[in-house]
Structure 1
Amino acid sequence: MKAKQSLFAGVVIFIIMALSACNMPSGVTSAGTPDIDGTVAAKVAIEHAAQTMVAQTLSAENPNAGQVNTSTNTIQAPVDATFTPTLSPTITMTPTPEGTFLTVSQDTYCRFGGPYSSFKILATVKIGQKVEVIARNPENDSYFVKNPYEANSTCWLYGKYATLTGNAAGLTVATMNPTPTPTFTPTPTHGFTVSYVGLETCGIQYAFKLFVKNTGSSIWQSISITGSDTVTAFAINHTSNTFKEYSGCSAGVTQADLTPGESSYVLNISPGQFNYNPTGNNISITVTLCSLDGLAGTCKSIPLSFTP
């Protein structure tokens, strides 16, 4: 780079000196007239040569001079922002079940045909379990419900421990199956047979239902039921000159006597009923029938034990 600068300085000095020489008044023709045309031509040639050398020198110093900058700046178009909507969570509404339902505060059997212990147990409704109610009995103390454990199955549930929700007033009234006649082996020597059927309730009072049939030739006119709850020691003492049936709090058929072949349901009610629920306790009793009122005349007795 320094050599090029020295060369350039030398050329410039040479040109200046040449031009100075051309301007001197020494140049004349043979006739004594100055050669103006030759002097001008020489100056032009020298100036042209100097310009050419200057241009070449500058070109050598800056090889990129004169080139057109063809570079272009590409403007990137802004990328469109993608809008992602935030979806609100879908609220699933839980429909309120229609109909009438019940829950029980104590495990309760659900039976086929009726709620009493003489009917077959189909299921046990657990505490707090919700069961759909289809109908009720006329006394409005038992309910015909859908079996919670088996589809297309129904059963009767005693309502003592039940709490209803829904349209209880709109329930239809259904009739229970007749109380099944228990199977038993007659004992002719006693003149009658007796068997346990089930437990009846009326409010807070409980009584067991017995089935008595006259299998002899005597006419029975009075009855005695004595014994106890072997768990609580509650004493049972019931006597009557009639044979009266009960369903819950409602009295049923009353018979003055039992003639040969006749039968009746009897209960330890007025007197003799329990003031608590004896379910699960062993009951030991003796049933006595007599041919006259007041437990007089000929009497026969049969012992009986069962667990409600």
Structure 2
Amino acid sequence: MAEKEVLIEVKDLKKYFNVGKNAVLKAVDGVNFKIYKGETLGLVGESGCGKTTCGKTVMGLYEATGGQVIFDGVDIHSLHKKEKKEFTKRAQIIFQDPYSSLNPRMTVEDIIGEGIDIHGLYKGEERRQRIHQLLEMVGLNKEHALRFPHEFSGGQRQRIGIARALAIEPEFIVCDEPISALDVSIQAQVVNLLIKLQKELGLTYLFIAHDLSMVKHISDRVGVMYLGSMVEFADSDELYSKPLHPYTKALMSAIPIPDPKAEKEKKRIPIEGEIPSPINPKPGCRFAARCKYATEACKQTTPELTEVLPGHFVACHRVKEVNALGL
């Protein structure tokens, strides 16, 4: 079997924000992962865990405080202005809010065509035909090109956002919670559109969301973040069938089951306690204050993300001990 080709490698990525005198918010703190060409990597966690900041730092929208984002062999945070422009042609982002991310004063044609103009890809009639093609590709009509964002529904606006991201023919797209602002009935349509486009165009996705059922539907592998750190990482089927970290288990237990009887009988694992502040975090496991299995070692020593099963990584002292004993 041919070895998968790595498109992006994130090494010890950090993004800190100074929020006051001697106060540092560690939004992303030492995250590591690889994304292979043609796959979808899901990134999940509660609101405020740092997943969006991670995605934007991978895209270069935020300057990294530390670590590297290696894209096709080159660290994007070491690129010069001209090289960054070339990178943005190969990597794009779909934003969470399809309304605020679209300029209300621009027509759909100009919104989608902006990237085309910046990179000088098409002009005149060719440009117009390309925009019409993109609109049809995402399930809209060419007649929509001359309308403004406020004339569309939330789902349609997100399709415009997808068309804008596709306009300059990128290889890699960060999908930053692209369905969280949409009605439940529309979410599956947008996710299925992303899957269809990936197959047709050979795209690679970093799919950020807190809807675990949708992440399972679209992702090949999934990383679970908690308070700026990666706590578990595995193939999608493996993670959902055999979660190991206490935090991941609690998240999985909250996924609704479509069968009312099974949903009623399902045992849910509650997470008690307050989420610790990401500002000047204390040493140790950041989940320790909310974990019923936490020991003194958990509060003193930060666990490293370690491969405990083939392709299955966990940052948890207890899981490592149990695994070492073969239990």
TM-score (normalised: structure 2): 0.22
Larger radius of gyration, structure 1 or 2?
1
Larger strand proportion of the pair: 1
Question: What TM-score do you get using the length of structure 1 for normalisation?
Answer: 0.23
Q: Kindly indicate which of the two structures has a greater share of residues assigned to helix.
A: 2
Q: Which has the higher contact order (CA 8 A, sep 6+)?
A: 2
